[in-house]
Structure 1
Amino acid sequence: MIKVRLQGTREEIIWFREQILARNVNVEIKEVSDFFNNKGTRNFVRNYMEINRAKRKR
């Protein structure tokens, strides 16, 4: 399992999750957190995920 912290705008993080991670057949997203505000900025948020390597089907 890999734990990932993403930082960016909400739109950038959603784009990354939907376009990059969700479409990658080698990655299985196990858990996604809510968005958390970053201190000192209103534009950027952070988001945490747990990711596993997808099991290969034979």
Structure 2
Amino acid sequence: MKLPGCKKTGTLLYEGIVGLFILGSFLAVMMNTWHSWQVSIRENRIELNQEREVLNELRQKL
């Protein structure tokens, strides 16, 4: 006697959609982290340039 097989139609499609959603979320987080890292580097450069200008002005006064 043969047991009735259960048909799983579309499960691979659902798994693919869920996988793409997870991958997209991961990439979005990585891009957000990279962007905030670049912004912090840029802000630090601006701050360092301002400090250098102040130090150069103080050196010229001395």
TM-score relative to the length of structure 1 = 0.30
Bigger Rg, which one: 2
Greater share of strand: 1
Q: Give the number of the structure with larger relative contact order, counting CA–CA contacts within 8 Å between residues 6 or more apart.
A: 1
